[in-house]
Structure 1
């Protein structure tokens, strides 16, 4: 419902958030590669590299002999179903991840991103124990970045586009309200639209992981609840 357009949170500790830019570039390049595939080839790729609960639980053979099923707890995050799936994830990553990388540092942010990716997948697995469809998309990891941002910079201002009937630009709002509303919508849809093919639990698991990991991995000089 709210699409972030820009934040007013300057980078203070790193000259260039190249890990964030690199992650966006990798996701885009992989998507471009997939656009050259037939539908059958892309479906096969999602089975091979997506996270399928019954495969991770060793109830079904691994699609690729050389790739352990546990590896798909990470590889799934670099596959996207369509351009809108990719664009929405990369937009949130573009706006919020640079400050998270600034607060954690390059290496710790990369570790953070990997951990939230895996934890989001495990949350999906825990509540879809018999799932036989592949989980794909970076939304779990992006949710982790949003969780970190909500804890580190809740008072930073975010310019948003309200998508109610038609998109309407709104004045800047505190990140806490925008991200809190996003979290509330995930909880709402988890209740009323649990049967939809959306990984609500991965989103919530990633967000919770971001909240938990940010205080542990942040720079000592970075205070929580900042962004004023």
Structure 2
């Protein structure tokens, strides 16, 4: 639908968004480690770390040679794997633009808990929709969807620079862009969109993000913050004008 570029939304509680930066770095490193190698190595990583609903719901069993971590761990490990550079780049761009302000609103540790919980919620809803699926789910989209929902609740009026349709630069309020994005995810899960995309994982992340941001945000962080941070021209304060005083020869008047 659109490619986010910049939101001009300054921090209020933190100086550096080091959890967001660390998550981006981990995702990039995981992508390089799991995609650079033979096809057998790549497949082993995907099948060993991806989320497979049928193994979670005890319908099927992962072959022993494919087990890298316990099945329950894949609720999180799947979110650090990506199929190709475009899959990775899209998720990391959303994380870069929107994640830092959610981290600012929640605090570093609670933001990390929030991110992982949204990832796990995305996997859970995906599994509930297709419990017998033997295809591994990978990607950070569930966690990213939670961040988008949280950002919409926190900063609906902040204006965001985006590329609409991948080529048209626009600057629009977050509530228009992100609300449309969220509605699109719900529409796709009911309309049966592209089967290579887990719309259910997106919806699970959205619901989790919308709930958790209400619980985990800092006490001094309001909802639907109307403050729009944009660069402003510098105004030079003029010196106050002093009224001339006329002294009377007869003394003070």
TM-score (norm 2): 0.85
Does residue 1:13 correspond to 2:13, yes or no? yes
Does residue 1:29 correspond to 2:26, yes or no? no
Give the 3 Å change call, closer, same or farther, for CA 142–119 of structure 1 in structure 2: same
Backbone CA RMSD of aligned residues: 1.4
- Tell me the equivalent position of 1:39: 39
- Tell me the equivalent position of 2:139: 137
- Tell me the equivalent position of 1:70: 72
Tell me how far 1:39 sits from its aligned partner: 2.3
Does residue 1:222 correspond to 2:221, yes or no? yes
Q: Select which of 94, 102, 122 maps to 1:120.
A: 122
- Tell me the equivalent position of 1:174: 173
| DSSP 3-state at the match of 1:147 | helix
- Tell me the equivalent position of 2:185: 186
Structure 2: state its 5+ residue gaps. 228-253
Q: 1:141-173: per-residue Cα shift (whole Å, max 9, x none)?
A: 00011111111111111111011xx61111x21
Aligned residues: 225
In 2: Cα distance, 1:125 partner to 1:39 partner: 26
Tell me how far 1:45 sits from its aligned partner: 1.2
| DSSP 3-state at the match of 2:163 | strand
**Per residue, is there more helix in 1 or in 2?**
1
Which deviates more from structure 2 when the two are superposed, residues 52-61 or residues 120-129? 52-61
CA contact (8 A) 2:5 2:161 kept: yes
Q: 1:175-205: per-residue Cα shift (whole Å, max 9, x none)?
A: 1111111112212322333461111010011
CA contact (8 A) 2:49 2:74 kept: yes
Tell me how far 1:60 sits from its aligned partner: 2.1
CA contact (8 A) 2:149 2:182 kept: no
- Tell me the equivalent position of 2:204: 205
In 1: Cα distance, 2:216 partner to 2:20 partner: 16
Give the 3 Å change call, closer, same or farther, for CA 28–227 of structure 1 in structure 2: farther
In 2: Cα distance, 1:192 partner to 1:132 partner: 22
| DSSP 3-state at the match of 2:59 | coil
Tell me how far 1:58 sits from its aligned partner: 2.1
- Tell me the equivalent position of 2:95: 93
Tell me how far 1:227 sits from its aligned partner: 4.6
In 2: Cα distance, 1:66 partner to 1:78 partner: 14
Tell me how far 1:42 sits from its aligned partner: 1.1
TM-score (norm 1): 0.94
Structure 1: state its 5+ residue gaps. none
Which deviates more from structure 2 when the two are superposed, residues 83-92 or residues 126-135? 126-135
In 2: Cα distance, 1:143 partner to 1:84 partner: 17
